[in-house]
């Protein structure tokens, strides 16, 4: 069999397995826009920006999505209960190959009325089914609190650790820091140097991140952590999801601080998605959402170590 | 310079010593600044360490030159390369080359990285063509049982996994970053 055909058939099997999984569980597959006026505002993203032009209209600034998250949440706010989508998403200024391709396929799914624990259960079942379709079996996925991992690997208790405590830990562990470091930077320096390398190859859910890494996640009942979950498999970050934040006031505040950070870093800004904030209160609490990299799943189930090997047209060969 | 400019082979001055970047990966947490996870080798001791730099950190890059050279031979620990324009030769040790040594084959053209006229290491082409020297013939039923690849030894001794249709004498391309089979070269 020629290689492109092999890749195409493998991808078809993955997509079919995923679609069958969600159909069986009463999800609806939806299509969401790739070109939007208000993309995600995450401070570290570089967007593919463009301009929308229509005859007789004023032109509009736009960008390609980095995830279908905002559109998906609007649909939840309009009353859809269980939805999934295969979205083509775009991130500029990432490595050209290896674990990254500037455009990639993201599977996102949401269920109203369920939280991140249910999400971990469902994600494990889904990933196992796709693996099984390729004759691969993995041990039960480990579930590790970020707090426990950092305590074990860096000797830092995130319970009550402030910026100064994180700074002290970095000094103790001989991790270089910079005066511009935020609490989030210091946490991430510790995480990258000490915690992440210990995760290993076994499937592992890391859950409950510190609030400085909350993104769009709701807080835990004690208010100390974010209900955010990442799945690592074969040492690759495969999915990232949350019990979704549905409070529009808190969400607006997070958008505002992200915009401020983008301005500080000289990155372009986009308008806040007001339609999302209008619909957010109609999303039930809890609601979980998860985003999974389909190309990376393809790498894992077929044992390939580079994303180029599972793409028919890797960007590294187009540019 | 910003860590965002780091590439393989970049030489930086860090904590008083010179280091060459052997591998790097840009990582973006769900929130906050992005980082560059860097594996770098000391040019003094050969020790490889990992360092994570925040995108906004400032690093001292050193100027390096690249020279196209041909691999000649290996004499125990030393690997010798020659510049075909002036027949100048340089030798590098196994420590200098690291994992790249196993991809070398006679006559291969590489880029030698020099700093202050001293050879530091090499840069390999992304893909190199080899001849398959030894591999088992495909066995009926391999595909059905899910065994879609097998071991192969190449003309320079390198071992890779190849698809079952590959035969001894075939020309194949190997990716020098991953060490994996890429494709068969049409004869």
Task: Give me the CATH number covering residue A310.
Answer: 3.30.930.10
Residue B44: predicted pLDDT: 78
Residue B164 · residue B143 · CB < 8 Å: yes
Q: Rounded CA gap, A122 and A21, in Å?
A: 10
pLDDT of residue B144: 54
CA distance A227 to A212: 12
Is B34 in Cβ contact with A42 (below 8 Å)? no
Chain A touched by B147 (CB under 8 Å): no
B42 & B55 share domain: yes
DSSP state letters, A195-230: IGGGS-SS-EEEEEEEGGG-TTBPBPTTSSEEEEEE
Q: Where are the alpha helices (DSSP H) in B56-122?
A: 94-97
If phi > 0 it is left, if psi is from -120 to 50 it is alpha, else beta; for residue B160 that is: beta
Cα four-point dihedral sign B158, B163, B167, B169 = negative
| CB < 8 Å to B23, chain A | none
pLDDT for residue A236: 93
Give per-residue pLDDT as tens, B143-172.
Answer: 555 557 899 999 999 999 998 889 999 999
CB neighbour burial string for A140-170, b if at least 16 within 10 angstroms, e if fewer: ebeebebbebbbebbebebeebeeeebbebb
Is B57 found in the same domain as B75? no
Judgement on whether residues B71 and B51 belong to the same structural domain of the protein: no
| Whole-angstrom distance, CA of residue A286 vs CA of residue A114 | 5
Task: Give the domain range for residue A93.
Answer: 3-141+202-318
pLDDT higher than 80, residue B138: no
**Residues from chain A contacting residue B178 (CB–CB below 8 Å):** 305-306, 309
Identify how many contiguous H helices and E strands chain B contains and give both numbers: 1, 15
Of the residues B104, B123, B142, the one at which a domain ends: B123
**From edge to edge, which strands make up the β-sheet containing A49-52?**
A35-36, A60-64, A49-52
pLDDT-derived band at B141 (thresholds 50, 70, 90) equals low
Q: Are residues B29 and B18 part of one domain?
A: yes
**CATH number reported for the structural domain that contains residue B166 in this entry:** 2.40.50.140
Task: Please check whether residue A107 lies inside any domain of the structure.
Answer: yes
Whether cis (ω within 30° of 0) applies to the bond prior to A286 is yes
Query: Are the Cβ atoms of A306 and B28 closer than 8 angstroms?
Result: no
Residues 6+ apart with CB under 8 A from A267: A43, A46
Q: Residue B98 and residue B96: Cα distance in Å, rounded?
A: 6
Alpha carbon distance B104, B101 (integer Å): 6
Q: For residue A43, is it within any domain?
A: yes
- Minimum distance, in Å, between the CA of residue A265 and any CA atom of chain B: 9
Instruction: Answer whether residue A197 is part of any domain.
Output: no
Number of domains in chain A: 1
- The distance of B23 to chain A (nearest Cα, Å) reads 11
B132 shares a domain with B119: no
Answer whether residue A189 is part of any domain. Answer: no
* A213 min Cα distance to partner chain B (Å): 5
How big is the CA angle at A170 (ends A168 and A172), to the nearest 5 degrees? 70
B2 in contact with chain A, both atoms CB, cutoff 8 A:
no
A189 touches chain B (CB under 8 A): yes
Asked whether residue A173 is assigned to any structural domain, the reply reads no
- All residues of chain B having their beta carbon less than 8 Å from the beta carbon of residue A46 are none
Measured distance CA(A270)–CA(A52) in Å, rounded: 14
Q: Which residues contact B77 (CB under 8 A, 6 or more apart)?
A: B93, B94
Is B99 within 8 Å of B148 (Cβ atoms)? no
Nearest chain A CA: its distance from B70 CA (Å)? 26
Residue A167 — φ and ψ, nearest 5°? -60, -45
Q: Is the Cβ of B33 closer than 8 Å to some Cβ of chain A? A: yes
The widest CA-to-CA distance across chain A, in whole angstroms, is 63
Using CB atoms, pick whichever of B28, B52, B177 lies closest to residue A189: B52
Q: Can you tell me whether residue B55 is helix, strand or coil?
A: coil
Q: Are B35 and B73 part of one and the same domain? A: no
Element at B173 (helix H, strand E): strand B171-175
Distances (CA, A) of A162 to A43, A169, A183, A210, A253: 22, 11, 8, 11, 21
Contact between B30 and A209 using a beta-carbon 8 Å cutoff: yes
Nearest CA in chain B to A2: B183
In Å, how far from its chain's centre is CA B1?
24
Residue B33, domain CATH: 2.30.30.30
Contact A214 B34 (CB under 8 A): no
Instruction: Give the Cα separation of B174 and B158 in Å (integer).
Output: 10
Two tokens, residue A24: 């069986």
pLDDT for residue B91 is more than 90: yes
The C-alpha atoms of residue B5 and residue B10 are separated, in whole angstroms, by 9
Cα B174 to Cα B178: distance, rounded to the nearest angstrom: 8
Residues B157 and B178 in one domain: yes
Which of B101, B123, B145 corresponds to the end of one domain?
A: B123
Cα–Cα distance, A18 to A16 (Å, whole number) = 5
pLDDT given for residue A250 in this prediction: 93
For residues A275 and A137, what is the distance between their CA atoms, to the nearest angstrom? Answer: 43
Which residue of chain A is at minimal alpha-carbon distance from B33?
A44
Mean pLDDT of B39-47: 84
Longest distance between any two alpha carbons in chain B, whole Å: 60
The residue with tokens 């030698």 is: B112
Q: Are both B131 and B170 inside the same structural domain? A: yes
Which residues in chain B (43-62) have CB-CB distances under 8 A to chain A? Answer: 50-52, 54-57
A86 phi, psi to nearest 5 deg: -100, 110
CA A91-B123-B23 angle, 5° bins: 45
> Nearest residue on chain B to A240, judged by CA atoms?
B30
Domain region containing B76: 65-123
Distance between CA A86 and CA A65 in Å, rounded? 13
Q: Are residues B132 and B163 in the same domain?
A: yes
Choosing from B105, B123, B141, the residue where a domain stops is: B123
Q: What is the pLDDT along chain A (319 residues), one digit of tens a residue?
A: 788 999 999 999 999 999 999 999 999 999 999 999 999 888 888 999 999 999 999 999 999 999 999 999 999 999 999 999 999 999 998 888 889 999 999 999 999 999 999 999 999 999 999 999 999 999 999 999 999 999 999 999 999 889 999 999 999 999 989 888 989 999 999 999 999 999 999 999 999 999 988 878 999 999 999 999 999 999 999 999 999 999 999 999 999 988 998 898 888 999 999 999 999 999 999 999 999 999 999 999 999 989 999 999 999 989 9
Per the CB < 8 A criterion, the answer to whether B21 and B35 are in contact is no
In A, minimum Cα distance to B5 occurs at A93
The tally of CA atoms less than 13 A away on the side-chain side of residue A189 is: 26
State whether residue A253 sits within 8 Å of chain B by CB.
no
> Are B110 and B81 spatial neighbours (Cβ–Cβ below 8 Å)?
yes
């Amino acid at each position: 069999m020629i290689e492109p055909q092999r890749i195409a058939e493998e991808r078809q099997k993955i997509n079919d397995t995923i679609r069958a999984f969600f159909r069986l569980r009463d999800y609806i597959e939806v299509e969401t826009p790739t070109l939007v006026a208000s993309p995600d505002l995450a401070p570290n993203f570089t967007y593919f920006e463009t301009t929308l032009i229509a005859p007789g209209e004023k032109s509009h600034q736009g960008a390609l999505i980095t995830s279908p998250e905002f559109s998906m949440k609007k649909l939840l706010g309009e009353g859809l209960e269980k939805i999934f989508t295969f979205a083509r998403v775009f991130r500029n200024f990432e490595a050209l190959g290896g674990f990254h391709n500037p455009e990639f396929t993201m599977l996102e799914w949401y269920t109203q009325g369920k939280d991140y624990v249910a999400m971990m259960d469902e994600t494990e079942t889904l990933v196992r089914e796709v693996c099984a379709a390729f004759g691969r079996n993995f041990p039960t996925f480990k579930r590790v609190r970020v707090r426990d991992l950092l305590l074990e690997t860096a000797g830092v208790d995130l319970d009550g650790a402030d910026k100064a405590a994180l700074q002290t830990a970095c000094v103790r562990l001989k991790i270089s820091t910079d005066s511009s470091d935020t609490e989030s930077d210091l946490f991430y320096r510790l995480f990258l140097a000490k915690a992440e390398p210990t995760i290993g190859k076994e499937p592992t859910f890391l859950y409950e991140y510190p609030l400085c890494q909350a993104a769009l996640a709701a807080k835990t009942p004690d208010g100390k952590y974010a209900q955010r979950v990442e799945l690592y498999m074969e040492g690759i970050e495969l999915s990232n999801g949350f019990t979704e934040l549905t409070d529009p006031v808190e969400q607006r505040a997070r958008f505002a601080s992200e915009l401020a950070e983008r301005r500080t870093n000289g990155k372009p800004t986009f308008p806040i998605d007001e339609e999302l904030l209008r619909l957010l209160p109609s999303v039930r609490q809890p609601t979980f959402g998860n985003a999974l990299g389909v190309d990376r799943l393809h790498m894992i189930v077929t044992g390939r170590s580079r994303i180029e090997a599972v793409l028919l047209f890797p960007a590294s060969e187009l540019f | 310079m910003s860590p965002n400019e780091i590439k393989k082979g970049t030489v930086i001055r860090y904590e008083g010593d010179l280091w060459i970047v052997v591998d790097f990966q840009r990582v973006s947490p769900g929130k906050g600044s992005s980082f560059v996870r860097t594996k770098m080798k000391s040019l003094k001791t050969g020790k490889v360490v990992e360092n994570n730099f925040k995108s906004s950190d400032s690093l001292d890059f050193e100027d390096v030159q690249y020279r196209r050279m041909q691999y000649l031979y290996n004499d125990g620990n030393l690997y010798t390369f020659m510049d075909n324009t002036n027949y100048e030769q340089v030798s590098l040790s196994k420590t200098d080359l690291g994992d790249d040594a196993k991809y070398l084959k006679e006559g291969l053209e590489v880029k030698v990285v020099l700093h202050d006229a001293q050879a530091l290491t090499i840069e390999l082409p992304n893909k190199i063509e080899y001849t398959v020297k030894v591999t088992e013939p495909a066995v009926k039923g391999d595909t059905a049982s899910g065994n879609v690849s097998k071991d192969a030894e190449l003309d320079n001794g390198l071992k890779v996994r190849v698809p079952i249709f590959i035969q001894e004498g075939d020309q194949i391309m190997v990716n020098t970053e991953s060490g994996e089979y890429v494709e068969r070269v049409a004869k």
